[in-house]
Each structure stands twice: as structure tokens, then as C-alpha cells.
């Protein structure tokens, strides 16, 4: 595993949980687990996506695999309302899966971007799926981000943010590689599609909500970026200010695409 870009502080744990709810309507329309019973979720974090899956699929049992103990501890707290459901929490490195059972489905969301060897992860998932098991992936395509007006603070900060992820062994555009990665891992019936949002002043409340979320996303690695010498504190303030300006500009635009994929083990 690489160093996690956003850290494991309580503030970041709250951000992850809020993020899951904010992006639910964008991610889940393309996912169908109605016929599945046993799901493997890799990089389950604080349980934000797990909670959505449990609500959407009442008959689904979920095994949550997460490398960080503090994330698992918070996930158990967040999912207390579902303690009667069949949920298993396992602390394990996703690149070295050693589970004692197989699954009919797998789910990975915003995880492969943080892993230096995503191929190894998908090969591990493949070996833990039953024949005809399905996998669903949602990952970043950060180069797709476009905003207007083009302001230098956000522009420079975002470039540094992606550079920092690469320096830590991650890939801010891993979404573009999902099809090839799945194919090389042995999966078939591979489908890949873009998802995301285009927001402007025709949807002012949603626009403002997304720019506020974007601030939290950007700030999640700010202290580490400053400590590394990649940026200075003034750029953090400029980024925040630019996002406020974009959200209130009469011609403001906010655009981002992520990539989703699903495939089947033959």
C-alpha cells in the first residue's frame, strides 16, 4: 500500500462519511447487486459506502477489508444501526488478500488511486470471487476537472495536490486504466463508463454544496503538502478563496468526471 493521501484524522473520517452521502446519487445508479448475497468491499474505510450498500441491498452480507485499524473502529461505530446484519470487519492489506472464503461480488470505490500496484489488488479479488462473480469499481480521473473562472490559486493548488499523490505512489487518473487492469486480471464482460457532474448557476444550491465539499477534499492533504515543502500556506488560503469566487460567479462552472467499471469472473 502507498501512503494514504488524506490521512486518518477524525476530521478526515467525517469527510469520508459525508462524501459517501453526497456522491451516492452519482455512483449507485450504475450498480446492481440485487442478485448477490456475499460482497467483498476493499478499502472500506469508515463505512460510508458500506452503509449505502446495506440500505440499498437488505439481503446483502458484506465483508469489509481495511488496512487502517482506526478506520475500522470508526466504521463499527458508524454502522451500529446495522449490527443485526451480517457484516464482517477484517484488517488486511488489499494487495495481500488472504481470506478464508469466496464471494459472489466485490466493490471498490476511491481506493485504487491510493495503491501503487492496483493490478495486484484486482488479481487478489479475482482469486476470491466465485465463478461468475461480479466486480464494481469507481475511481478518479482528476485530469477531467474543469472550472470557470480560471483562477490561479485553485489551479496551482490542484496541480500540486495531484503531484503530491503521485509522489506518494498513487495515481490521480487511475480511472482511465480500469478496463485494461480488469482485462489483465482475467475478468470478462468488462464495461467502462464515465460518471460525474457539470454544475453551474442553474443549480446554485448544488453548486455551492459541491464547492464546499471540494474545499474539504483539497484541505484533507494541505498540512502534509505544506510540511513536504510542495506548497506554502498562502496557496491554501488562495484555493479556498477561489472556490468561493467560482461558486458565486454568474458564469461559474464546476465539472468533474470519475470512471466506473464492472466485470465478471468467468
Distance CA 32, CA 94 (A): 23
Greater model confidence, 95 or 83:
95
pLDDT at 3 over 70: no
Question: β-strand 129-139 against 253-264: which pairing, if any?
Answer: antiparallel
pLDDT digits (tens, 9 = 90+) for 201-259: 999 999 999 999 999 999 999 999 999 999 999 999 999 999 999 999 999 999 999 99
Alpha-carbon torsion angle 97, 102, 104, 107, nearest 10 = -20
Distance in angstroms (rounded) separating the CA atoms of residues 149 and 187 = 42
Q: pLDDT-based confidence at 14, cuts 50/70/90?
A: low
On whether the CB atoms of residues 134 and 126 are closer than 8 A, the answer is no
Given this model, what pLDDT does residue 9 score?
59
Share of the chain above pLDDT 90, in %: 91
Least confident of 5-9, 129-133, 241-245: 5-9
Query: How sure is the predictor about 1, in pLDDT bands with cuts at 50, 70 and 90?
Result: very low
- What confidence tens digit (pLDDT) does each residue in 182-200 have? 999 999 999 999 999 999 9
In this prediction, residue 34 has a pLDDT band, given cuts at 50, 70 and 90, of very high
Please state, in angstroms and rounded to a whole number, the distance separating the CA atoms of residues 256 and 217.
14
pLDDT class of 7 with cuts at 50, 70, 90: very low
For 100-117, what is each residue's pLDDT tens digit?
Answer: 999 999 999 999 999 999
Structural domains of the chain, with CATH: 10-265 (3.40.50.150)
Amino acid at each position: 500500500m502507498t501512503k494514504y493521501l488524506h490521512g486518518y484524522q477524525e476530521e478526515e473520517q467525517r469527510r469520508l462519511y459525508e462524501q459517501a452521502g453526497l456522491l451516492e446519487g452519482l455512483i449507485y445508479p450504475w450498480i446492481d447487486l440485487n442478485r448477490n448475497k456475499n460482497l467483498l468491499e476493499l478499502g472500506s474505510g469508515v463505512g460510508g459506502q458500506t452503509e449505502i450498500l446495506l440500505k440499498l441491498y437488505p439481503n446483502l452480507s458484506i465483508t469489509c477489508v481495511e488496512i487502517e485499524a482506526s478506520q475500522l473502529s470508526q466504521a463499527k461505530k458508524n454502522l451500529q444501526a446495522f449490527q443485526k446484519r451480517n457484516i464482517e470487519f477484517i484488517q488486511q492489506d488489499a494487495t495481500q488478500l488472504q481470506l478464508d472464503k469466496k464471494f459472489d461480488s466485490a466493490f471498490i470505490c476511491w481506493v485504487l488511486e491510493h495503491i501503487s500496484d492496483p493490478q495486484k489488488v484486482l488479481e487478489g479479488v479475482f482469486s476470491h470471487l466465485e465463478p461468475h462473480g461480479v466486480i464494481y469499481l469507481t475511481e478518479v480521473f482528476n485530469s477531467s476537472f474543469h472550472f470557470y473562472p480560471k483562477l490561479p490559486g485553485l489551479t496551482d493548488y490542484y496541480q500540486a495536490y495531484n503531484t503530491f499523490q503521485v509522489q506518494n505512489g498513487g495515481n490521480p487518473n487511475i480511472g482511465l486504466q480500469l478496463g485494461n487492469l480488469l482485462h489483465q486480471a482475467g475478468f470478462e464482460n468488462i464495461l467502462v463508463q464515465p460518471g460525474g457532474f457539470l454544475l453551474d448557476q442553474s443549480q446554485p444550491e448544488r453548486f455551492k454544496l459541491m464547492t464546499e465539499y471540494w474545499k474539504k477534499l483539497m484541505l484533507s492533504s494541505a498540512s502534509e503538502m505544506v510540511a513536504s515543502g510542495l506548497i506554502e500556506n498562502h496557496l491554501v488560503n488562495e484555493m479556498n478563496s477561489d472556490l468561493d469566487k467560482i461558486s458565486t460567479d454568474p458564469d461559474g462552472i464546476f465539472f468533474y468526471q470519475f470512471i466506473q467499471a464492472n466485470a465478471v469472473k468467468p
